[in-house]
Structure 1
Amino acid sequence: MAADEIRGEVQGSAPVPLSVLDLVMVSSGRTATDALRTSVKLARLAESRGFHRYWVAEHHSMPGVASSSPAVILAHLAAHTERVRLGSGGVMLPNHAPLIIAEQFGTLEAMAPGRIDLGLGRAPGTDGATAAALRRTDHLNEGADDFPEQLAELTRFLDDDFPDGHPYRRIHAIPGPIQSTTPGGVQSPHRPPVWLLGSSGFSARLAGMLGLPFAFAHHFSARNTIPALDLYRESFRPSAVLDRPYALIGVSALATDEEKEARRQVMSGALSMIRLRTGRPGLIPTPEETEAYEFSALEREFADSWLADVIHGTPDEVRAGLDDLQKRTGADELMITSNAPGMEVRLRSFELIADAYGLPTL
């Protein structure tokens, strides 16, 4: 795996490569079909405006998020794009058998050679009851505790290099490297780069020790960002993948033509998060529904705290906020997720951000 499959090329006047995280949000009055069609439009926009990569995240049992099957969505996006890197941000490894993930992402790599990233997380991406249903077990800590072993197994399936005597030595992930060693086989020059994702220190340390790229969820764990990145860099050991650390951070950002409108839009995301955190997940409310909602004092306090970490405003204000965040964290790449319910608002936001950085139209 070449490091240039990980390190992005800076476009325009951006300090680091800019990328997109798509939560495939379903807003009030819309369907999952609408959300997935928006994802295609957004992926095409990202590709045409020089964003480096486009990731989708695994979530379950959340009516407002239609990304329960990242591999399926990525296959769809691969059919509608040609250049932008596509990946998972991430697949929750404890929810799946490593062989299944190796085969899914080997298939994606065959569909879009050299464009696929495999980002892995150790959280369930849902509540405990749903995680138990996914894993068919009540022992939910097993997956998290066994994460390093699961990761090692997945990596061996991707590389097809289980040692002699291993019970999986004769099991091969297909598509995969074994096809190159069969009569008439040709070796593919790529295999999906593995990233570790995290919102605390565990994956940061593991990514550093293994010499893997690391993606941190600043957009919902902002207080832990700098400690986790410091831990990643301190723990980093050069590997065949990377000779120096590479840290990406996910950040919520929304640009609109007027500052007041940006605040109005992102308040819907805050209300959605309040409902999720209080056990009432639903569709993403519209700005009109949000304006009609009576926030309690505690909810208003939560919303203000949440929005303090959402960069929003005019394009120049958003650029200034992103530049400041990059300087404070030393992030090697910024992955932007849009915190607004409307399709046109999200598309317009990424256009405005691209213009603010002078990203070229490709």
Structure 2
Amino acid sequence: MDAGDDIRGPAAGTAPVPLSVLDLVTVGSGSTATEALRTSVDIARLAERRGYHRHWVAEHHSMPGVASSSPAVILAHLAAHTERIRLGSGGVMLPNHAPLVIAEQFGTLEALAPGRVDLGLGRAPGTDGATAAALRRTELSRSPSGTGGTPIHSGADDFPQQLAELTRFLDDDFPDGHPYARIHAVPGPVQATAAGGVQSPARPPVWLLGSSGFSARLAGMLGLPFAFAHHFSAQNTIPALDLYRDTFRPSEVLDAPYALIGVSALAADDPREARRQVLTGALSMVRLRTGRPGLVPTPEEAEAHEFSSMEREFVDSWLVNIVHGTPDEVRTGLDDLQKRTGADELMITANAHGGEARLRSYELIADAYGLPDLAG
């Protein structure tokens, strides 16, 4: 069965595959979460106007430079400011939430923006172990010193069971005798079967997200679309996509594999400015990986930072996987990546300090591919 445009988006202009946007709602030094959220609206509007297929928001927690802790709330706001572009989570971290709550949230989003909501699910916490424990109200195991620790029950191992429960709530089809058989996620399909009901039984398509092989294999076995985080796990991209395709079984959702990859890309009129901007994201990652998360630094701060030899090695390896430069250079890099991976869709995230640079990048990439300006 063909999944239709809700999954298989049409390529536009001269792009080999559909182009989409992954929004981390980043907060730069000297800026606020309010300004970051306004920028997300601006990006969604630009993406819609220029023919990008989707705009997804990712769930992160306890990171000062990332204001996307509540994807459902942000997506509802974006839905009110857009008309056509698909909106979704890239993703909601399923172990952090009760499946019924997610079904209710995304049923609400589907009611707000019928036919254009995606539910992307991840199994990682989107944060550190202590924050994950606070989200899930689970006990922490302690180190011998009495500090630190990780959740005793992480929830990730239960991901297939949680996914099955969520799917049952979304479809409203728990079997007779199941403890949840009389529980319904509302808004949802139950409204179509109630007396006088006219609610559409449609629901958001489920995607599995991953940065390793676990979700790739599960997505393949279930016949679901798969999104891989190439932007921070580039070395695993091809093995994971191969695993997904090798294990894929046709389903009611898809008759053939459909793989999207997230990729960091930033275009600027001047290639030196593109380099300055992506260095801010690299410094942010250095600080995050060393336990010092903060706001996204300015280009001036990143240029002035004295990187240690270990930090410099990390930055160099990080920047290798960010496609950046002039619009033509970025197009060439994205085309090469798509050919190497066979990805069915490219989801671009622009790492930069300020909203202006990110907006300009998405506009320039659209120009490079000849995407139509739907406002003209």
Whether TM exceeds 0.5 here: the answer is yes
Equivalent-residue separation in structure 2 for 1:142 and 1:28 (angstroms): 33
Runs of 5+ unmatched residues, structure 1: none
Equivalent-residue separation in structure 1 for 2:111 and 2:198 (angstroms): 13
**Is residue 55–residue 86 contact of structure 2 (8 Å, CA) maintained in 1?**
yes
**Is residue 2–residue 255 contact of structure 2 (8 Å, CA) maintained in 1?**
no
CA displacement at 1:339 relative to structure 2: 1.1
Any residues of structure 2 matched to 1:89-100 within 5 Å, and which? 89-100=90-101
Letter matched to residue 124 of structure 2: A
**Is residue 188–residue 201 contact of structure 2 (8 Å, CA) maintained in 1?**
no
TM-score (norm 1): 0.99
CA displacement at 1:297 relative to structure 2: 1.2
> How big is each residue's C-alpha offset from its partner over 1:61-109, in whole Å with a ceiling of 9 and x where there is no partner?
0000000000000000000000000000000000000000000000000
| Residue matched to 1:125 | 126
Letter matched to residue 276 of structure 2: R
3-state SS, counterpart of residue 92 of structure 2: strand
RMSD of aligned residue pairs (Cα, Å): 0.9
Equivalent-residue separation in structure 2 for 1:315 and 1:141 (angstroms): 46
Letter matched to residue 255 of structure 1: A
Any residues of structure 2 matched to 1:207-246 within 5 Å, and which? 207-246=219-258
| Residue matched to 2:170 | 158
Runs of 4 or more consecutive aligned structure 1 residues displaced over 4 Å after TM superposition: none
| Residue matched to 2:304 | 292
CA displacement at 1:141 relative to structure 2: 4.3
Equivalent-residue separation in structure 2 for 1:69 and 1:125 (angstroms): 12
Letter matched to residue 369 of structure 2: Y
**Is residue 192–residue 201 contact of structure 2 (8 Å, CA) maintained in 1?**
no
Letter matched to residue 116 of structure 2: R
Equivalent-residue separation in structure 2 for 1:273 and 1:122 (angstroms): 21
Any residues of structure 2 matched to 1:169-188 within 5 Å, and which? 169-188=181-200
Equivalent-residue separation in structure 1 for 2:310 and 2:180 (angstroms): 53
3-state SS, counterpart of residue 262 of structure 2: strand
**Is residue 330–residue 365 contact of structure 2 (8 Å, CA) maintained in 1?**
yes
1:332 to 344, 352, 360: 344
TM-score (norm 2): 0.95
| Residue matched to 1:342 | 354
CA pair 53-140 structure 1, distance change in 2 beyond 3 A = farther
**Is residue 62–residue 282 contact of structure 1 (8 Å, CA) maintained in 2?**
yes
Equivalent-residue separation in structure 2 for 1:290 and 1:177 (angstroms): 50
| Residue matched to 1:63 | 64
> How big is each residue's C-alpha offset from its partner over 1:31-65, in whole Å with a ceiling of 9 and x where there is no partner?
00000000000000000000000000000000000
Residue 11 of structure 2 corresponds to residue 10 of structure 1: yes
| Residue matched to 1:269 | 281
> How big is each residue's C-alpha offset from its partner over 1:271-324, in whole Å with a ceiling of 9 and x where there is no partner?
000000000000000001111211111111110100000000000000000000
| Residue matched to 2:318 | 306
3-state SS, counterpart of residue 346 of structure 1: helix
Equivalent-residue separation in structure 1 for 2:136 and 2:322 (angstroms): 33
Equivalent-residue separation in structure 1 for 2:241 and 2:295 (angstroms): 33
Equivalent-residue separation in structure 1 for 2:85 and 2:227 (angstroms): 18
| Residue matched to 2:148 | none
> How big is each residue's C-alpha offset from its partner over 1:203-245, in whole Å with a ceiling of 9 and x where there is no partner?
0000000000000000000000000000000000000000000
| Residue matched to 1:146 | 158
Equivalent-residue separation in structure 2 for 1:334 and 1:163 (angstroms): 38
Equivalent-residue separation in structure 2 for 1:79 and 1:348 (angstroms): 23
Equivalent-residue separation in structure 2 for 1:291 and 1:341 (angstroms): 13
Any residues of structure 2 matched to 1:106-121 within 5 Å, and which? 106-121=107-122
Equivalent-residue separation in structure 2 for 1:141 and 1:259 (angstroms): 47
CA displacement at 1:257 relative to structure 2: 0.5
Instruction: Answer with 324-333 or 179-188: which moved more.
Output: 179-188
Equivalent-residue separation in structure 1 for 2:74 and 2:194 (angstroms): 31
Equivalent-residue separation in structure 1 for 2:39 and 2:279 (angstroms): 21
Runs of 5+ unmatched residues, structure 2: 140-150
**Is residue 131–residue 140 contact of structure 1 (8 Å, CA) maintained in 2?**
no
**Is residue 264–residue 348 contact of structure 2 (8 Å, CA) maintained in 1?**
yes
CA displacement at 1:187 relative to structure 2: 4.0
3-state SS, counterpart of residue 171 of structure 1: coil
Alignment identity in percent? 83
Equivalent-residue separation in structure 2 for 1:277 and 1:325 (angstroms): 26
CA displacement at 1:189 relative to structure 2: 5.2
Equivalent-residue separation in structure 1 for 2:67 and 2:31 (angstroms): 11
Letter matched to residue 50 of structure 1: G
| Residue matched to 1:254 | 266
Letter matched to residue 49 of structure 2: S
**Is residue 266–residue 323 contact of structure 2 (8 Å, CA) maintained in 1?**
yes
> How big is each residue's C-alpha offset from its partner over 1:248-270, in whole Å with a ceiling of 9 and x where there is no partner?
00000000001111111100000
**Is residue 128–residue 140 contact of structure 1 (8 Å, CA) maintained in 2?**
no
CA displacement at 1:125 relative to structure 2: 0.2
Equivalent-residue separation in structure 1 for 2:209 and 2:252 (angstroms): 19
Equivalent-residue separation in structure 2 for 1:228 and 1:147 (angstroms): 18
CA pair 2-96 structure 1, distance change in 2 beyond 3 A = farther
CA displacement at 1:190 relative to structure 2: 2.3
